[in-house]
């Protein structure tokens, strides 16, 4: 309750400054007027809040669990417009968060490629990776930190640290925990024109988020569509 009250107080303070046309101390007026309410870090006016973003590939019937071969990671090189969007989003993030199974799947694939025209392997090799696991000891992949505590507490600490977007992909159980805890700021969904007929979905059973705001939408030449949503 105290955290919510503090957040509300910060938003009210921002609103009062906006109405008065003045910027808070430490922030120039033009930057302030262009910043959305509630978008500033609680530790200082000039530090943006770090977003937790879930990015998923999903079928038309809503499955994010790939049980059939409807997604080819290296096949994206033939869809240049889709690949450009992926790289655009990569540039907004400096932290890559996954559960252990997804981490091991990625580690067993991308670093083994002798060539990768998509550029995904290079990005994953260099980005700061965080893997949620209480059993993994040695991640065996550079720039990887193992988060062995409570996932919700660990991710809250990541969000409070300075940095750009934190991106989660795959990792269905982890996503369910973060959604249930109300930690997710954006959902970026790449919808593939396939009906799988089975498989786990993004939102856990029983969770209701009644209102979303669509922030972006695109269609790509290969048939994939993209939508970005944030809780309203």
Token pair for residue 115? 């060539």
Q: Give yes or no for residue 47 having a pLDDT over 70.
A: no
Count of CB atoms situated within 10 Å of the CB of 210: 6
Q: What percent of the chain has pLDDT over 90?
A: 69
In this structure, of 9-13, 75-79, 187-191, 219-223, the range with the lowest mean pLDDT score is 9-13
Q: What percent of the chain has pLDDT over 70?
A: 78
In this structure, of 68-72, 127-131, 213-217, 221-225, the range with the lowest mean pLDDT score is 68-72
- In this structure, which CATH number among 2.30.140.10, 3.40.50.10800, 3.40.50.2000, 3.40.430.10 belongs to the domain 50-231? 3.40.430.10
Q: pLDDT tens across 101-147, in order?
A: 999 999 999 999 999 999 999 999 999 999 999 999 999 999 999 99
Strand 186-192 versus strand 225-231 pairing type: antiparallel
pLDDT band at 76 (very low <50, low <70, confident <90, very high): low
pTM score of the predicted model? 0.78
Closest CA relative to residue 153, chosen from 136, 134, 178, 119 = 178
Task: Write down the domain spans for the chain.
Answer: 1-43, 50-231
Across the chain, what does the average pLDDT equal?
83
Q: pLDDT tens across 8-34, in order?
A: 334 333 333 333 333 333 444 334 334
CA dihedral (150, 152, 154, 159) in degrees, to 10, reads 180
pLDDT of 39: 41
Closest CA relative to residue 158, chosen from 102, 212, 93, 101 = 93
Distances (CA, A) of 44 to 6, 24, 40, 82: 14, 10, 7, 36
- Give dist(CA 146, CA 230) in Å, integer: 28
pLDDT of 79: 83
pLDDT of 209: 83
The residue ranking higher by pLDDT, 22 or 160, is: 160
């Amino acid at each position: 309750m105290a955290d919510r009250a503090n957040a509300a107080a910060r938003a009210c303070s921002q609103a009062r400054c906006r109405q008065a046309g003045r910027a808070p101390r430490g922030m120039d007026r033009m930057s302030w007027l262009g910043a959305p309410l509630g978008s500033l870090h609680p530790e200082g006016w000039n530090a943006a809040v770090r977003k937790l973003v879930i990015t998923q590939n999903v079928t038309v019937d809503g499955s994010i669990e790939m049980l059939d071969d409807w997604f080819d990671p290296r096949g994206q090189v033939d869809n240049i417009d889709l690949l450009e969007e992926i790289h655009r989003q990569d540039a907004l993030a400096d932290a890559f968060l996954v559960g252990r199974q997804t981490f091991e799947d990625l580690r067993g694939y991308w670093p083994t490629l002798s060539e990768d025209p998509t550029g995904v392997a290079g990005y994953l090799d260099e980005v700061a990776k965080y893997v949620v696991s209480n059993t993994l000891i040695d991640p065996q992949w550079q720039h990887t930190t193992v988060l062995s505590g409570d996932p919700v507490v660990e991710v809250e600490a990541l969000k409070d640290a300075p940095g750009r977007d934190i991106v989660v992909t795959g990792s269905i159980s982890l996503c369910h925990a973060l959604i249930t805890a109300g930690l997710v700021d954006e959902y970026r969904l790449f919808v593939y024109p396939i009906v799988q007929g089975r498989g786990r979905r993004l939102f856990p059973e029983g969770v209701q988020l009644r209102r979303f705001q669509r922030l972006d939408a695109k269609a790509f030449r290969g048939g994939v569509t993209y939508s970005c949503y944030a809780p309203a």
